[in-house]
Amino acid sequence: MMQKVKLLLITLLLSATANAQTVTTEQIAVQHTVINMFDALSNRDSVRLKAYCTANITLYEYGQVWNMDTLILKAITQNQSAGFKRTNHFEFINTTVDKNSAWVTYRLQSVINREGKTVTVQWLETVTLAKEKKQWKIKHLHSTLIKRS
């Protein structure tokens, strides 16, 4: 019985190792663009937010199509509560880079503190990016709400 358990554990370990993705420098740069964009959003910094997005960004949120103006209105302008804090955690599922375009799928969990209340929100998101002047920028973001607690 113990030999079967050892064999199963070795098989699972080898399978996980074989499926592990080697992350390239470009993939890391793409992932950092996503992280930095959300950091700017969390800090309610519209100037930095725009720096990580294309001028014609489209966001698919809650069944609606947003542009940069909508994002700034809903996430920054209408979100001026004192003591606001948002912390993001990313689990990158897949990152594909092809010359001047990239696609990223990830799970995002955000802990949001606003007016003394804490909410945890989880999304599954896909982002496409374009390379502009050697800099990765988010062009499209599609977000699916998984859980809000």
Label residue 9 by pLDDT band (50, 70, 90).
Answer: very low
For residues 133 and 21, give the distance between their C-alpha atoms in angstroms, rounded to a whole number: 28
pLDDT in tens, 115-134: 889 999 999 999 999 999 99
> Cα separation of 123 and 145, whole Å?
5
pLDDT category of residue 21 using cuts at 50, 70 and 90:
low
pTM: 0.83
| Ramachandran assignment for 32, one of left (phi > 0), alpha (psi -120 to 50 degrees), beta (any other) | alpha
Dihedral of the alpha carbons of 55, 60, 64, 69, in degrees to the nearest 10:
-20
Nearest CA among 42, 58, 25 for reference residue 126: 58
User: What is the full DSSP assignment across 51-65?
Assistant: HTEEEEEEEEETTEE
Largest CA distance in the chain: 62
Range name among 9-13, 18-22, 43-47, 60-64 with the lowest pLDDT average: 9-13
**All domains of the chain in start order, with CATH:** 24-148 (3.10.450.50)
Instruction: Report helix, strand or coil for 141.
Output: strand
Is pLDDT at 17 greater than 70 in this prediction?
A: no
User: Residue 46's pLDDT is what?
Assistant: 96
Residue with tokens 């996980």: 16
